[in-house]
Every structure is written in C-alpha cells, then in structure tokens.
Amino acid sequence: MDASGNALPHDDRPQDTRRSRRARRAAEAASPVDVTVVVIGAGQAGLSAAYHLRRAGLVAVGERGWERAAATFVVLDDGAQAGGAWQHRWPGLTMAEAHGVHDLPGMPLVVADLAEPAAFAVPYYFAQYEDAFELRVQRPVRVERVESETDGAGSLLVHSRAVDRPDETVVWRARGLINASGTWKKPFWPAYPGRGAFRGRQLHAHDFRLPADLADGHVVVIGGGTSAVQLTLALARVTTTTWVTRRPPAWRDETFTPEVGRDAVAQVDERTRAGLAPQSIVSVTGLPLTPAYRAGITAGVLRARRMFDRITPDGVEWDAPDNPSDGWVGGPAHVQARTLLWCTGFRASLDHLGPLGLRARGGGIVMDGTQVVADPRIQLVGYGPSASTVGANRAGREAARNLRPLWN
C-alpha cells in the first residue's frame, strides 16, 4: 500500500518481493552455518573424501535431522552436474582411450560400452555414486574465499555463492576443510615471444571440442603430456600437424605396475613436502606405449620437434636447426599454422585459499601427505601426489582420517 492506504499497482509487487528476498538472503548470509567439515569440489578426490567422512559417522547437510547431529559435512561443487572435470572433456575421448579412470571407494565403475564418450560415462558414474551414498552435493556453488574466524575460536569461514543465483550467499563455519577444487578452472598458458602477434587461432586443450573445428589449416600442438598425444592423433585424421615439446617424449614401454605408480607419487610428494610447486604425475611416469600410440609413431604423427623459439604472425620458428639425436625430429626453420593448440596443462585452483597465506617461498604449499603443515585444519586432495585418480582415492581416506580429532 501507499502512504494513503491504497493498494500499489500490480506491476510494483514483484519488485517489492525481490527486495524482500534479497533482504532475507542477506540476513541468512550474515549468520554462518555451522558444520564440522566443508569439502570443496566433487571430482574424484572430493567424492572419495566425502565417502570416508560418511563412513566415519558424519551426517551430510540436508539429510533429515542434520542440524542436530554431533558431526556434519557439506560438499560444495561449482559444476552444473556431477562429473567433476570429466564432464568438460572433448566428446571424442572414449572410455577406451581415457587414461586414469578408476573406481571410487565402495562402488565399482562398470562401463558397458568402451566406445562411449568419457564425458558422458564418468559423470553418470559420479552421479550414481553421489546418490548411492547420499552425499547430497550442493551445486552449482562457488567458493569465493576461505578465511580464519577472528574471534579466536579456531574456525574457518567458507564464503560461498550460488552460481546461477549470484545474490544467494552462504557462509559456512567449519572446524576443518578438505579442498578438492582440482585444476580444470586454471588452464596454464606459458609466455612465448610473439604470442600476441599471431594472426591465427590460439586454443587451450581446456576448450577443445571437435577435431573438425580445427580442420581449416595446419595445427601446431604444444605440450608433452597425454592430452597433447591424444589430440595430435585426433587432429591428424582431419588436418596436418606439428607436435612440439619442451623435453623429448618419455615413452614408457613397460607395464604400469603399482610399484611404478608409488615411485612416481613419491617423487611428486618430495616436492610438495619442500614447498615447491608440484609436478604432474605424467611428467614422472612418462607416456605409456599403447597400440594407438605405437601406430601414431610409426605413421610419423607422434614424432615431436623441440619447442620453437618464437611465434610469428603466421606460425612458429626456430633459431637453430634441430638435432634428431636429442630425441626430437627435424624440420624447417619456419612452420606456417592456422592454429596453435596449447596442451600445456593446468595449475591448482587455490585462489580462494589466498586469505589463509599458505604459500611457501618455493611457490607451492608445504605438505605432509594431504595436510597443510602451516594449518592442519586444511587438507588438500587432488593436489601434487594425489592429482591422479588413484592417488585421489587414497588422499580422500587420508584427509578424513587426519581430521578425525575434530569430531572424536
């Protein structure tokens, strides 16, 4: 009603309702929601951690009676659906070709058709898993920052916002945090001379969809990891390619045994314990010589040149001639290209932890397993040695075990 007591026009009511809703949400956000543990991310590592928290007796937020439970947890994920980074993989990557897909604890991954795209099969499996163990993942929710409460209570304040409703915010007050935010949101673009002057297309593997999208000219594929190998093979079916790497490809012509995996994890773990930025597991294990990769080598597609010295407006060039004896193949000093495809990896998505000041001088975070040495309330899973899916499962169990004193 207006000041005279008359009803307001109908068109004014929605605006008033929106104001009321905003005011109510602001009031709700002002009062933190108390939980024992917050898990950030619902990929392989986050789901593993949530599973072990539930097995330890914690009750998921949203479950009947959770407000009265002695110990609780909540999983916050910014994805539109279950699946972690797998839901974003390029559609041509099948389950037969995907590396590093492993069972989550307590539920085997059953794939009826190995020709099914991994971007469909793995998210379906993750969704089944969330339902089977009633993990009640809240999504899409983005964690904007984590900070220590200033009243001396020793709690963490986790500030979150609904992705599709930005005015809806929740602050979670937790005794412990398991961070499983992964790397997908932070594709790494290395700096190279001339990159800004290139007149063609530049694309990161993060945004690659279909080989046909790049069939309009020569493609230079940059990077020495699994994604570079897979995308080079896929692109070779529709266009010409040049593959370049910083180090000669490290092909591993042997079975990837558990012992090999443990040795690789130990090498990455050594760096994180020293506070150095972690290396990828693939940089330690090398590339498996699968039948498809062998065929690519024989066909001349998977023959790498050393990294170029600069980017020109129409391609890339080298200052000195290649030396094939170094493990690379030779080629012309200048290669024209329509597309530069950067398969140069990702960095850990940890910006939201910035207020906690966890970074060491070496650029990384000093770790003892999954535990942050500078702040034992924080567990990092899917970081460093647990970045592989096998390591992520073990890390989820370890993180939950490390935080057990919070509720016992």
The torsion angles phi and psi of 160, rounded to 5 degrees, stand at -125, 155
pLDDT at 16 over 80: no
Looking at residue 260, its pLDDT comes to 56
If phi > 0 it is left, if psi is from -120 to 50 it is alpha, else beta; for residue 23 that is alpha
Q: How many CA atoms lie within 13 A of 64 on its CB side?
A: 0
Question: What mean pLDDT do residues 228-255 have?
Answer: 91
For the domain covering 32-184+348-406, report its CATH number: 3.50.50.60
Domains 32-184+348-406 and 195-250+286-342 are alike in CATH topology: yes
Question: What mean pLDDT do residues 357-361 have?
Answer: 88
The model's confidence at residue 104, banded by pLDDT at 50, 70 and 90, is very high
Looking at residue 23, its pLDDT comes to 47
Nearest to 125 by CA among 97, 78, 84, 185: 84
User: Which of 278 and 251 is assigned the larger pLDDT?
Assistant: 251
- In angstroms, rounded to a whole number, what is the distance separating the alpha carbons of residues 204 and 343? 6
Tokens representing 174?
A: 């937790």
| Cβ–Cβ < 8 Å for 136, 120 | no
Question: What mean pLDDT do residues 7-28 have?
Answer: 47
Element (H, E) at 179: strand 169-179
Q: Which residues pair with 160 in a beta bridge?
A: 143, 170
Tokens representing 279?
A: 């290396």
Looking at residue 320, its pLDDT comes to 84
CB atoms within 10 A of CB 166: 9
Tokens representing 4?
A: 């005279």
Question: What mean pLDDT do residues 152-170 have?
Answer: 92
The model's confidence at residue 364, banded by pLDDT at 50, 70 and 90, is confident
The model's confidence at residue 9, banded by pLDDT at 50, 70 and 90, is very low
| Cβ–Cβ < 8 Å for 159, 149 | no
Average pLDDT of the residues of the chain: 86
Looking at residue 392, its pLDDT comes to 81
pLDDT at 15 over 60: no
pLDDT at 350 over 90: yes
Question: Which range, of 57-71, 278-292, 333-347, averages the lowest pLDDT?
Answer: 278-292
In 17-168, the DSSP E strands lie at: 33-40, 59-60, 72-76, 141-148, 156-162
Question: What mean pLDDT do residues 125-147 have?
Answer: 97
- In angstroms, rounded to a whole number, what is the distance separating the alpha carbons of residues 42 and 69? 23
pLDDT at 3 over 50: no
**Radius of gyration (C-alpha) of the chain in whole angstroms:** 24
Q: Which residues pair with 316 in a beta bridge?
A: 311, 335
Q: String of b and e for 286-324 (b: at least 16 CB within 10 Å)?
A: bbbeeeebeebbeeebbbbbbbbeebbeebbbbeeeeee
| Cβ–Cβ < 8 Å for 86, 104 | no
- In angstroms, rounded to a whole number, what is the distance separating the alpha carbons of residues 76 and 58? 16
Looking at residue 233, its pLDDT comes to 96
Q: How many CA atoms lie within 13 A of 208 on its CB side?
A: 32
pLDDT at 322 over 90: no
Question: What mean pLDDT do residues 49-67 have?
Answer: 97
Looking at residue 150, its pLDDT comes to 81
pLDDT at 124 over 80: yes
CB atoms within 10 A of CB 382: 30
User: Which of 391 and 49 is assigned the larger pLDDT?
Assistant: 49
Question: What mean pLDDT do residues 50-75 have?
Answer: 97
Tokens representing 167?
A: 């005015």
Q: Which residues pair with 143 in a beta bridge?
A: 160
**β-pairing verdict for 339-342 and 219-222:** parallel
Looking at residue 6, its pLDDT comes to 40
Tokens 């090398």 — which residue?
286
Count of residues in the chain:
408
The model's confidence at residue 383, banded by pLDDT at 50, 70 and 90, is confident
Looking at residue 27, its pLDDT comes to 46
| Alpha carbon separation from 234 to 88, 115, 169, 227, 381 (Å, rounded) | 17, 15, 42, 10, 32
- In angstroms, rounded to a whole number, what is the distance separating the alpha carbons of residues 188 and 226? 15
User: Which of 183 and 276 is assigned the larger pLDDT?
Assistant: 183
pLDDT at 288 over 90: no
Homologous superfamily of 195-250+286-342 in CATH?
FAD/NAD(P)-binding domain (3.50.50.60)
First to last CA, the chain: 55
Residue 379, Cα to own-chain centre: how many angstroms?
Answer: 16
| Domain residue ranges of the chain, discontinuous segments joined by + | 32-184+348-406, 195-250+286-342
pLDDT at 205 over 80: yes
The torsion angles phi and psi of 175, rounded to 5 degrees, stand at -85, -25
| Cβ–Cβ < 8 Å for 21, 5 | no
Between vectors from CA 69 to CA 65 and to CA 73, what angle results, nearest 5°?
A: 100
Question: Which range, of 4-13, 134-143, 353-362, averages the lowest pLDDT?
Answer: 4-13
Spell out the SS3 assignment of 338-400.
CEEEECCCECCCCHHHHHHCCCCCCECCCEECCEECCCCCEEECCCHHHCCHHHHHHHHHHHH
pLDDT at 93 over 60: yes
Q: Indicate the pTM of the whole model.
A: 0.84
pLDDT at 276 over 80: no
The model's confidence at residue 198, banded by pLDDT at 50, 70 and 90, is very high
Looking at residue 271, its pLDDT comes to 58
pLDDT at 309 over 80: yes
Tokens representing 295?
A: 């065929």
Question: What mean pLDDT do residues 118-146 have?
Answer: 96
